Structures are given as structure tokens and as C-alpha cells.
Structure 1
Amino acid sequence: MAEAADFQGTSPSPARRWLRRTGALLAGVPLLAGLCQLPAAAPAEAADTSGSVSVAIDTLSPSAPTDGDTLTVSGTVTNNGKQAVTAAHVGLQVGPELNTRSSIDTVSDGKDSLQGATGSEVDGKYEAKFAKLTPGVAEPFSLSVPVDELDLGDAGVYQLAVSLSGRTAAQSWDQQLGIQRTFLPWQSDEADTKTKTTFLWPLISSVHMTAETGSNAQQTPVFLDDDLAKEISAGGRLDQMLSLGENLDVTWVIDPDLLASVDAMTHSYRIQGEGDTTTPGTHQALAKQWLARLQKAVEDKEVVALPFADPDLASLAHNGTSVTGSLSHLDEATDVAATTVRTVLHVTPSTDFAWPVNGAVDRSIVKVATSAGADKVIARSDSLQETAGLSYTPSAARPIGGGTTAVVADARLSTAFQGDLTKASSATLAVQRFLAQSLALDLQTHKQRSIVVAP
């Protein structure tokens, strides 16, 4: 599978530059082997114990510092209480070192809780002071600290917290009123063994074309709506996926139905209206441009073609196998997938992968997936777990019997960038969490491993 990123060699793209600083990780390779079984429950949510002042970390640079760097943290503090806060200051707290991936999860769950260990505050000369914080007003801060002043020890992930302390009229003594926790990956020397990581990059959409065609000799295709044009337009979801993916070393995972639909848009097509009416489609140039960019992006890259229209394998496995011909149609969907990708993108895809929704699998889903010719099933580690009681995260590829391999994506890394990341603070915390989990994974063992990230 394609290399996702590499901290050595050529200059990284801006989208990868923050990853490079860990020195821990990432370069894709053929996947290796292990053992597995099925799943565990999610942890309960922590109670809300946040303070009256919210602390937002908008930037943290460098994301993974090395010797000689100066760490700069900036953001805002907002007084959410009803009383003014006086004699306030924002300071940095470092420590303790987090030795396990689960301890990183715990900090993430309680990132703005006043409870829990935070470590000692860095020397007071590295703080921002506020004479008064008015209720409802966001005040900016910026702190710069030489990394040498942080007293970091061995390579590892350290908890980093930005806290706000001050006084109120009701409580006229210094107290911590708000905090935001994040992570500081630290590795002063290059890692002896680097975990190799493959990123799967999905280009998938819902079905847009109908089974109807025009009555003319060209059998003009008819679309349900014009939503696909919005997705491939500048700023649309599929445009953003392509814009990001074309600058990264990823394995493209594509629904051939999407390719066929955009390809149909490059010619004459119509949009379904009310009743039996249709209107002409007008986005031929947009479709041609998007496809041309995708063709260039996948050159010399690995491309995985899902069965045509990306059928829901779980629904089929649990409710559809009794329907006559359902599995044979799945087989046909796999056969036409390869032809579609070759015709539209001019590359030969792999068609031996199946990807159930969110990588959730059980025996019946695997059985249906393999009935259509797949011998590799993309699962996720919160669904398919190793049975040997390993103290470290094993390589992604694990045999599950019958000649089938489960390619188990790491759940923590795969979900690190979920949710609304339009706020700078949310994006910064997500980046630090991803880097922390990556470094913690790498430091678990000196064994060479291959990890898959499947957003």
C-alpha cells in the first residue's frame, strides 16, 4: 500500500510539515501479520468540571519541538462567569509524562477539567498577566518558552497545560479558574525504529445518477439532483478531499460509481425535476476539471476500488443474504469496479479489499465481503482486537482464517480529526493528540510495525 508520509528525504508539503517534527514515524510499506478477535465497549463520558474561565489554545509551535527550539503557545481566555476576574495570569504547566496510549485518552477526555494532575508551572517570567478579565470578553495571550526551560526528560509524550489563575469579588484569593490540556511530543534524538504508516484516502459519495436515461439516441443520463456538482466545486467536500490528497502520499480508496457519475457529467446530462420533467445539466467543465486533477493525483499511486456504489456490507450480511441474487450482484459490482477505474482514471486498481462502514466487522460481514472476491477486509481496532494480550499495538495486517486478512486501522489515529475543526483551537488540539498517539505508539516497542490510518 502507498506510503502515507515520510520524515526523511524530500521536503514535506505544508499539510505534513507538523508531522515531520516527531521524528517518530511515518512511511507506508507492505502490511505484516498478527492475530485478532471481536470488540470492546467505549468509555463513559467524564463529568463537566471545567472552571469559570475558558482557555483556548489556538496555536502551538513547533508541534513537536526538539533541542534548541522555543515553544510558542497562543490563544484566548474568556471569562464565562458573572464577576470580573482580577490579578489574573496565564501560565504553562508541564508534566507528567504519559506512558501509555490510554493515559493520553484520559487527558483528552478531561482536557478542560480543573481536576487531575497537571504538573508544575513553568517559571513565572513566562506568563501573561491581566489586570482584569471582563465577563464575556475574549482576551488574547501568547507565551514563548525555550524548550530547555521545560525540564523534559526522556523521549515521550508530556502533558502540557495552559491555565488561568486569578481572583473574584466572591473569592479574593489566587485560584485556578480555567485550564486547557494538550500534549507535547518530545524526542531529542532520532528514533531507532520507525513505525510505518499507510493512510487510506476515501473518495466516496452517495448515489447521484438514476436508472433513467433520456429517450434520445444518446440515452442522456438523468441525475437525481445537482448535489454532486456542489461536492466537486471549489470548497465542496470532494474538492477538498482531492485538494488535500493530491499533495500527500496516500492510498486512494474510490467508489467507481462516483467516477462514473462525474464522467457522465462531462457530457450531456439532465437533472430530475418535479413530475416527469428534467432540466439540462450545466457543469460539464467543472466535471472535466475535477477528473483531470484526480487522474494526475493517482498517477503512480496505489488505488483501491470498492465494489460499484459501495454497497453496505453490514446490511447485506445481516438482512440481505436471503434475497435471491444479492451476493451475485455484489460479485458483479466488484467486477465492474475494475473496468470503471481503468476506463476513467487509466490506472489498474486493487479490487481485493472490502471496507465495511467504520471498519465494523463480524463473521457474517467478513463472509459476505469474501464472497465477492475480497481477501482483505479493512477493519478498525475498536472492532477487531488482538487476542494475545499484547502490551503494544500490533501491525495492521492480521490473518483471520480462510485465507482472509484483516487490515486493522488504528481507531485512535483514524478518528483523531473527526468533528468540527473549523475553530483553530479544535484543530490544534487534534494535531497534538494525533502526534501524541503516534509517538506513544512508536515508543511501545523496538519492533518494526506497519500501521494503517483510515479516516
Structure 2
Amino acid sequence: MRRLLHVGAVAATTAALLPALAAFSPAQAPAADPGQADNRPDPLVVEEITPTSVGRNSTVEITGEVTNTTERAVEDVTVRFRYSTTGVADRSELDAYAAGEGVQPESVGADTEIEGGLEPGESAEFTLRVEAADLDLSEFGVYPMVVEAVNGAGADMGAKRTFLPYRGGSAPDPVGIAWVWPLMDCPQRADDDTYLGGSLTESLAPEGRLGRLLTAGAQNDDVSLDPAEPGESAEPTESAEPSASASPSPGGGADDEESGGAGSGGSADSPAVPVTWAVDPGLLDDIDRLTSPYQVMADDGAATAPADMEASAAAEVWLDQARAALADDAVIATPYASADLAALLRHDLDSDAETAIALGYDTVERVLGLPAEPALAVPADGMLNTPTRELYQRMGATGFLLREAAMPAASWVGHTPSAAAPLDLGEGEEGTALVADSGLTEVLDADTSDPGDAALAQQRFAAETAMIAAERPGTDRTVVAYPPADWNPGAGFAQGVLEATDTLPWLEPVDLNDVRPEGGAAGQDRTGPEYPRSASRAELSGSYLDEVKDIRGNIRLFNSILVDEEDPFRPAVLRLESVAWRERDDLSETAVDRVADAVRTDMEKVRIIPSEPVTLASATGTIGVLIANDLEDHTVRVNLSLLSANPERLAIGNYQDPIQDPIEIGPGDRTTVYVRLTARVNGRTMIQMNLHNISGEPIAEEQFLSVNATGMGTQALVISGAGALVLVAALTPRALRKWRRGRETAAAAEPPEGTEGTESAEDAEGAVSEGTGTAQQDTSAGDGGAAPGESPAPMQENEEEPPSTRPGGPDTAPPSGGKGGTGDSPAGG
């Protein structure tokens, strides 16, 4: 209770003070929404630094924007840049400064004041300009620099660390740089027709990731993804326009006397920087499939049916432009879908590993119409173990594009080693390892999506390459710039680094195919090759590949019925074996389930069509078994087996020779197999029907057919015939006796001449006896001749029961004038 009173008092005091506080603080901004804190703009954005490298006669110009992100107005805002007059000693010191460590630069290069101050949320542009000669930089090197904004009280509003490369003094010889330009992505499909999401189409647009990479790497304004109006050429995309950071600045920069060097002209007539395209054939196949109607699964992987999509015009345009852009450049290929070769070889999936490499080369040529370089392998993540290397060797590779962790610099080396190093291939053979520089990879992988990030990243790229050149002046070295597989550079950055490669005087662009180990000491400053434990732990797990193996088993069974040894699900399996699933368990399980369902669905399309129960109205008959092949693209070859549940009752005749005469059915066709049945006993019998491959393995669930035999079977006819013979044999003597008595009676009954028309009592009695004997015979004959299953003809109304059906008959009646027989008397025989 006391606590509640205290809280109430605090609330009342606060309510009373609020009006006074509002009056005391004029222009008080409303409180910021805590939920919008992460959406506040960057207080300081550096949009451009020119020139990228500073010469003795250059004019340094820095432009950008400052924003008041506080809730109060600020006065006397000053933007300035400070720099150090001492350059960084090596690349490790450069990295430390970029990470926020090391001393702060103290020399002020230039400053400017924002007139009128800034209200909350207000922004203002700024320009800093200074002559390079006034910076007192004396020698070639990289100098730390910071651009910052402070208020009138000297408090920091925002700061950006960057570098100022200076090319004055004694410049080193250029360092060769070879570019590897990645066109890669994670697998986009599960089965061949179903995409896991809709992001690929967006990525192919002019401003999409793959769209920007293609147009920037092409370095050709004619390569454009913008849709052209009829009769008009496509306008250049934004990424194809020259980067402002590479343009000459007023009063100095690229046109001063020290801007020379390899490729420093920067004119429209300058040759393009050599680029080797590293492509994932699985991605090319995914894009190519978009050019026809396809299906897309829900983004959350829900069990809803995939949505039907029309063919993608963006995919068609991208492929057309890619064929033009890559036609004159070198192309190297990863395994299909970047399959995890190391994991496949470790888990006895060697055939999949070989297929991934071979299918990769075939897919590049099929989709792009040009071959990939088979001599240069691109292992997953740039890591190489011995089994993977030996597999690549068997497939024709002698060179390997690696990351630095696979062949790091030796511990005693204090400089950046050359990219090319000899690689022992065993049995006296020697190949080449081309090792990408990890520092450049990190710089290129920087986030350049926000405003101003591209300018700072480009300065960092220039600084890194300048430090490499300054490490060992006078030596010939080449570095490989190889961005990550999922590289997603911001607008203008990808184009900017290529232009910087052409204009920076300490860089000499070279073709990757020309990078070779030189000299007897080549490669001695590197260790390895190594396959660290972290690399083996990162491979696809055995439990995951066991799931893939289960699917492969069903695929093998499906393939066994296809003609021409087709393997339509092999690309889908390789997509499941991609290195992309190492860290994406949720989506990989969705892909596994989808492929398993697709295999099962296609297997079920080769089937026996169920039929209605069959009635066999005679001892033998023929039925037709209808087999369907609902696959649209494949001819199948199968065998049919039929098994009677009771062969003694229902026998199945010969209908197919599974070895000499398998059943072949074309795409979308059906065929009927005619089977002769023989019923030995009437009744219902089940027939089990199965489809098999030519090896006898069942390929579908069994079907059952009910056959009801209602006609006389063979055994029944034999039994009935034997019974009839016994009956005839037993009744013949009796019938003969009756026939003789009848003849004698008839003869005795003939009247003498002249007595016609008279009849004695004895004649009347004989007539009665004769009539009674004829009714029994007829009756016996009628009973014995009834058809099986039929009832004797019913008696007419009021008809007297025949004597033979009564208790006792003519043969059992007592003689005339005697007593009647007792109930124990036997029936007449």
C-alpha cells in the first residue's frame, strides 16, 4: 500500500512539472518512437571521394550529407576531414584502423560549416576541398583519414574512417591483378519444375543482384537488361554508367602528371579489364527453366499446392545478354549446383561427384552456347582435399582456384604472396594453384547497399591494393580478386572497382589464364595445400546424405523402367547435394521432401488401371489387363505378372515372355495385355497383378482382380459325366425288364378276332400298370437331365404327384388283394 502511494505521488509530481519543462525548452521535438530507432538515417554519409588516389597536383574533394538525428536543434555544425601524415606500415595495420583501432589522425585537411544549424531530422549537403600539395604528403603510401561532423560544443555527430592513397614520391612497379567474376546462387528448384521461392526472377531484373553483376562485369553499354521499346535500343542501366568516383576531379586527379600507369587512361577507347566468369551451371539451368511456365512454392514452405507461373521475360533477356557478354571472355564452372564433392566422396557417392562435374560442363555449353574451361577447377568454398583433387584430375583439371585458407602464406612471410603456386598432383605431375587474396575478398564483400558505403568500400579497395604494391617494390607479383559466391555489391560499386583496376597506377589488369608460377622459388612463401578440420566439419552431414540416398534408391528403380537409360532426376539429386544446404537445414528439408514426392508421383504414373470384377460364364475366357504410361516425356519398358489365389480353381494361361517380350509403352500411351483363364471349379477367385522392371523388381503397388466362374468347369464336367454313367448302368436292367413286361402285357391284351371293343378286368389292370411305369421313367429321366444350377420344372396346379415321388411306388405296392406294406419296407430299387 505504501508503495502504491509513493508511485501515485511520483506520477502527480511529474504531471505538474511537464508544462514547466515544456516552457523551459523551446522547440522541443516530440519523443522519438522507440520502434523507429533502427530506422534513423546515418548522421554522416560520405558519397564521393575524388580522386581515388591522390597525386602531387591533385585536388582532394569529399562530398556527402550530414543529418541531425537528435531530438534537439544543433547549431554551429562543422564537417571536416582529418588525416595522418604517417602512412600505415602494412596490411594488418590497415585492417586494424578500418576496424576502429589505432591512433586518431590529427592533421586537419579541410573543413566547412553548415550555415543556420540543423533542426531535428534536417539534413544538409557538404563539400570538402583541399589541394594535395597542402597536405604535406611526401612518399607513396596509404594514409589514415577520418571524415567527421561536430557541433558547436565539439561533440561528435558522426564519423567515417577511410584512407587516402598517395601515389607521389617513388611509386612501386604495378602489381598484376586478375579478376574472377562470380555468377552463382544457391539452388532455386527442388524438382525440375518447382521453384522454392520467387527471388530468382527479381534477381535477374536490371537492379537485381544477378542483373547488376552481369551488366557491371560486361563493361559494355550494349549489354543492358532494360526492356527496349519497339524500334529502339535499350538505354544503359545505372550500373553500366561510369562511376563518379573514377571521374577526374576539378583541378587535379586522373589528369595530373602522376596519374599514369598501366591502364590509367580511363577513356572510352580503353580496353576492358579482363574478367574470368565463374558460373554455377545449376544456376544457369534454373534461369533457363524460367523461360517456360513453371511453379513456385509458398515462401514459408507450406504444404499448399505450388502456384502456376507464366514464363519469365526477365530470364529470357538475362540469358540473351549473358550469351553476348560472356562470348569473348573465359568461363570456368563449378560442379552442377555447386555439389559438395568432398562430402559425396567421403560418403561413397562417387558417381554423383563425377556426374556433377560432367553435367556442369554440358549445362554451360547447352545454355550459353560456349564451353567452360575444363582445365581450371572451382572447388566448393575454394577448399581442396586429396580425393577431390584426384577426381578433378581424372576429369581433366590441372589448375585449381582456391581460397587463401587452403594455401595460406607461410608464418615467416611478411608480404602478400603471389597468387600462383605449384601444386603437386602426384606421380610426378605438377599443376597450378591460383589463390585468391583474402583481404580483397573481405573488402569486396563489404555491405555497400546503404548510401555512401560504396565510396568508402572503393577507397578501401584502393588502399588494400596500394599496400600490396608497396610491400615488395621491384618484384613481379599477381593477386587474384575473387568475391564470394553470393556477392551482392551495391549500385555502382562493382563497376567502380573494375574502373579503379583500370585507372590505379599500381595495378595492372591481367587475364587469369596468364597467371602462372614463375621462378624456382614460386610457391615457397605458401604452405599447404591444407584441408582444415573446419572445412571437413562444414561438409554435408552423413545423416542428411542418407536421406538423399533413400531418394536415389527410388530414382534408381524409376530409371530401371525407362528406355534409353535416361536419368531425369539426376539434376534434382545434385541440387540436393549442393554446398548451399550446409547452413540451410529448413529449406533443404523442404527440397528433399519435394523431390521425394516428385519421384513417387512419376512412379505412380506407370500403373495398371483397375477394372471391375470379371464374370467367367464358361470354362475358359480371356480378360484384358490395361497398363498406362502417363509420363509425358518417357517411354517405359515393364513386365506384367499375374498370380491366381487358387490355381486349382482358376488357372492363368501364358500371356508374356518377360525376357523375350517385355511390354514397351510410349509417352502418354496405354496398352492392353490379353490373358486366357481356365476355370476348373465354379466360384470366386482373386488374381494379384504386379508390374516389374526387367530385373523382376516390383515398381508399383499390386492390384487385385476378382474373377467369378459361373460356367461348368472341367473337373465338374468329369464328375457329372461319371455320375451319369453310373446312373445309366444302374437303371438299364430295370428299364429292360419293364420294357419286356410291357411288351408281354400288350401282347396279352390283344383281343381275339371278333371281340374288338371289349375289355376284361385283367386288361384294364395291365393298362394301369403300363401307364404307371412310363411316368417313373420320364420322371427319372427329367431329374437326371436337369442342367447344373437349374431347378426341375415346377408342377402345374392340382397336378397329382407322380407315383414315383410318393412314399412307395408300383414296385413296392403290395399284391392285389394283400395287406399294405409297413413303414419299414425299403423303397423300390
Pairwise TM-score range, normalised by the shorter structure: 0.7 to 0.9
1:393 aligned onto 2:416? yes
The alpha carbon displacement at 1:393 in A equals 0.7
**In structure 2, do the counterparts of structure 1 residues 116 and 131 end up closer, same or farther at CA, with 3 Å as the change threshold?**
farther
Structure possessing the higher radius of gyration over alpha carbons = 2
Amino acid at match of 1:299: A
Could you say what secondary structure the match of 1:424 adopts?
Answer: coil
Q: Which is further off, 445-454 or 342-351? A: 342-351
Q: Name 1:425's counterpart in structure 2.
A: 452
Alpha-carbon contact 1:334-1:351 (below 8 Å) kept: no
The alpha carbon displacement at 1:423 in A equals 2.1
1:73 aligned onto 2:89? no
Could you say what secondary structure the match of 2:354 adopts?
Answer: helix
1:208 aligned onto 2:188? yes
The alpha carbon displacement at 1:268 in A equals 5.1
Q: Name 2:285's counterpart in structure 1.
A: 260
Distance 1:175 1:264 in 2: 57
Amino acid at match of 1:329: D
1:413 aligned onto 2:440? yes
The alpha carbon displacement at 1:337 in A equals 1.8
**In structure 2, do the counterparts of structure 1 residues 353 and 447 end up closer, same or farther at CA, with 3 Å as the change threshold?**
same
Q: Name 1:298's counterpart in structure 2.
A: 326
- Listed one character per residue, the Cα deviations across residues 342-392 of structure 1 (whole Å, up to 9, x for unaligned) are 222222211344444543556676567657654433322255312262222
- Listed one character per residue, the Cα deviations across residues 141-189 of structure 1 (whole Å, up to 9, x for unaligned) are 2111122211111111112222334444xxxxx5666532211111137
Q: Name 2:374's counterpart in structure 1.
A: 351
Q: Name 2:477's counterpart in structure 1.
A: 449
5+ residue gaps, structure 2, are: 1-41, 220-272, 484-829
Could you say what secondary structure the match of 1:423 adopts?
Answer: coil
1:286 aligned onto 2:314? yes
Alpha-carbon contact 1:327-1:371 (below 8 Å) kept: no
Greater RCO, CA 8 A, separation 6+:
1
In proportion to residue count, which structure has more strand?
A: 1
Correspondence 1:198-277 to 2 at 5 A:
198-211=178-191, 221-247=193-219, 249-267=274-292, 269-271=294-296
**In structure 2, do the counterparts of structure 1 residues 178 and 205 end up closer, same or farther at CA, with 3 Å as the change threshold?**
closer
**In structure 2, do the counterparts of structure 1 residues 164 and 277 end up closer, same or farther at CA, with 3 Å as the change threshold?**
closer
Distance 1:277 1:176 in 2: 56
1:154 aligned onto 2:182? no
Correspondence 1:58-207 to 2 at 5 A:
58-79=47-68, 86-95=75-84, 96-110=86-100, 116-122=103-109, 126-128=111-113, 132=117, 134=119, 137-168=122-153, 174=154, 178-188=158-168, 191=171, 193-207=173-187
TM-score by length of 1: 0.73
Distance 1:358 1:205 in 2: 13
Q: Name 1:218's counterpart in structure 2.
A: none
**In structure 2, do the counterparts of structure 1 residues 93 and 257 end up closer, same or farther at CA, with 3 Å as the change threshold?**
same
Alpha-carbon contact 1:337-1:351 (below 8 Å) kept: no
1:440 aligned onto 2:474? no
Distance 1:308 1:166 in 2: 57
Alpha-carbon contact 2:178-2:478 (below 8 Å) kept: yes
Amino acid at match of 1:164: A
Alpha-carbon contact 2:54-2:166 (below 8 Å) kept: yes
Alpha-carbon contact 2:184-2:283 (below 8 Å) kept: yes
Q: Name 2:23's counterpart in structure 1.
A: none
**In structure 2, do the counterparts of structure 1 residues 146 and 307 end up closer, same or farther at CA, with 3 Å as the change threshold?**
same
Distance 2:293 2:449 in 1: 37
Amino acid at match of 2:128: L
The alpha carbon displacement at 1:448 in A equals 1.2
The alpha carbon displacement at 1:303 in A equals 0.2
Q: Name 1:216's counterpart in structure 2.
A: none
1:378 aligned onto 2:401? yes
**In structure 2, do the counterparts of structure 1 residues 97 and 275 end up closer, same or farther at CA, with 3 Å as the change threshold?**
closer
Amino acid at match of 1:196: G
The alpha carbon displacement at 1:92 in A equals 2.4
The alpha carbon displacement at 1:293 in A equals 0.5
Amino acid at match of 1:328: S
Distance 2:448 2:439 in 1: 17
The alpha carbon displacement at 1:108 in A equals 0.6
**In structure 2, do the counterparts of structure 1 residues 267 and 188 end up closer, same or farther at CA, with 3 Å as the change threshold?**
same
Correspondence 1:30-49 to 2 at 5 A:
none
Alpha-carbon contact 1:90-1:163 (below 8 Å) kept: yes
Q: Name 1:328's counterpart in structure 2.
A: 351
Amino acid at match of 1:233: A
**In structure 2, do the counterparts of structure 1 residues 227 and 158 end up closer, same or farther at CA, with 3 Å as the change threshold?**
closer
**In structure 2, do the counterparts of structure 1 residues 66 and 278 end up closer, same or farther at CA, with 3 Å as the change threshold?**
same
**In structure 2, do the counterparts of structure 1 residues 335 and 362 end up closer, same or farther at CA, with 3 Å as the change threshold?**
closer
**In structure 2, do the counterparts of structure 1 residues 287 and 369 end up closer, same or farther at CA, with 3 Å as the change threshold?**
same
Distance 2:303 2:96 in 1: 55
Q: Which is further off, 264-273 or 401-410? A: 264-273
Amino acid at match of 1:412: G
**In structure 2, do the counterparts of structure 1 residues 398 and 167 end up closer, same or farther at CA, with 3 Å as the change threshold?**
same
Could you say what secondary structure the match of 2:64 adopts?
Answer: strand
**In structure 2, do the counterparts of structure 1 residues 366 and 116 end up closer, same or farther at CA, with 3 Å as the change threshold?**
farther
In proportion to residue count, which structure has more helix?
A: 2
Distance 1:211 1:62 in 2: 51
Q: Name 2:262's counterpart in structure 1.
A: none
**In structure 2, do the counterparts of structure 1 residues 100 and 285 end up closer, same or farther at CA, with 3 Å as the change threshold?**
same
Alpha-carbon contact 2:163-2:460 (below 8 Å) kept: yes
Distance 1:79 1:271 in 2: 45
Alpha-carbon contact 1:306-1:353 (below 8 Å) kept: no
Amino acid at match of 2:50: S
- Listed one character per residue, the Cα deviations across residues 118-161 of structure 1 (whole Å, up to 9, x for unaligned) are 031136xx533556455554443211112221111111111222
Aligned-residue RMSD, C-alpha: 3.2
Distance 1:272 1:136 in 2: 42
Distance 2:207 2:75 in 1: 44
**In structure 2, do the counterparts of structure 1 residues 267 and 190 end up closer, same or farther at CA, with 3 Å as the change threshold?**
farther
Distance 1:244 1:254 in 2: 15
Distance 1:156 1:192 in 2: 10
Alpha-carbon contact 1:263-1:287 (below 8 Å) kept: yes
